[in-house]
């Protein structure tokens, strides 16, 4: 149910405060540019923008943005984005997913794939690395290898440290040969 509309960020803030909506949809560069001002509201944010909006993705995620939809996407994409933002799962429409992927790749430091590891992986760490690269979660890896999740988490941490990366995503993206 739509509880209100606003032409600018000031109107939006005054419309949001008494209603306490679950989701707020922002459209237009003027509103998107002020998204940081909405960090205090208790609502998931859906941003409708263009490819240039993806370059603001880090700032948008810090401002509680849960979904991103391209302005030329069909109406169904916006509906799906609102549903996903409302239930907390998040959403990026197909119209922006490619641009977001390119932006994310561009943000990764180029040196990641060239950094040699200073310590070789153990055989167990190598097994865990291969399963991480297949997209398996710690729970799945633990089940596959007959280990506890805590042990898998330990091995994943060691692999990340030895590869000089901070996250599983960076590990996969770097394609570090270990």
In this predicted structure, the answer to whether residue 177 has a pLDDT above a threshold of 70 is no
Residue 46, strand partner residues: 25, 67
* Mean pLDDT of the 97-119 span: 67
Mean pLDDT of the chain: 80
Q: Which of 156 and 20 is assigned the larger pLDDT?
A: 156
Cα separation, 42 vs 127, whole angstroms? 43
Residue 115 tokens read as 């950094």
Give 86's contacts (C-beta < 8 A, 6+ positions apart).
22, 23, 44
How far CA 70 is from CA of 44, 74, 174, in Å, comes to 17, 9, 28
Q: Spell out the domains of the chain, with CATH numbers in brackets.
A: 9-107 (3.40.50.2300), 111-174 (1.10.10.10)
User: What is the value of pTM for the model shown?
Assistant: 0.55
Q: What percent of the chain has pLDDT over 70?
A: 78
Tens of pLDDT along 31-66?
666 666 666 677 888 888 887 777 777 667 667 788
Sign of the C-alpha dihedral, residues 7, 16, 36, 99? negative
Tens of pLDDT along 132-151?
888 888 999 999 999 999 99
Question: Is residue 114 very low, low, confident or very high in pLDDT (cuts 50, 70, 90)?
Answer: very low
On whether the CB atoms of residues 112 and 173 are closer than 8 A, the answer is: yes
Return the pLDDT at 147. 93
Question: Is residue 176 very low, low, confident or very high in pLDDT (cuts 50, 70, 90)?
Answer: low
């Amino acid at each position: 149910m739509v509880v209100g509309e606003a032409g600018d960020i000031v109107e939006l803030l005054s419309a949001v405060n008494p209603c306490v909506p679950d989701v707020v949809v922002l459209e237009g560069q003027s509103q998107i540019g002020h998204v940081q001002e909405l960090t205090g509201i208790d609502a998931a944010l859906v941003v409708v923008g263009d490819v240039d909006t993806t370059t603001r993705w880090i700032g948008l995620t810090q401002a509680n943005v849960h979904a991103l939809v391209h302005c030329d996407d069909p109406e169904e994409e916006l509906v799906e984005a609102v549903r996903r933002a409302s239930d907390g799962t998040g959403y990026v429409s197909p119209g922006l997913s490619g641009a977001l992927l390119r932006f994310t790749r561009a943000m990764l430091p180029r040196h990641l794939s060239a950094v040699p590891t200073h310590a070789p992986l153990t055989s167990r760490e190598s097994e865990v690395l291969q399963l991480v690269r297949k997209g398996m979660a710690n729970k799945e890896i633990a089940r596959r290898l007959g280990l506890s999740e805590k042990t898998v988490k330990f091995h994943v941490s060691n692999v990340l440290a030895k590869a000089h990366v901070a996250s599983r995503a960076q590990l996969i993206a770097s394609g570090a040969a270990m």
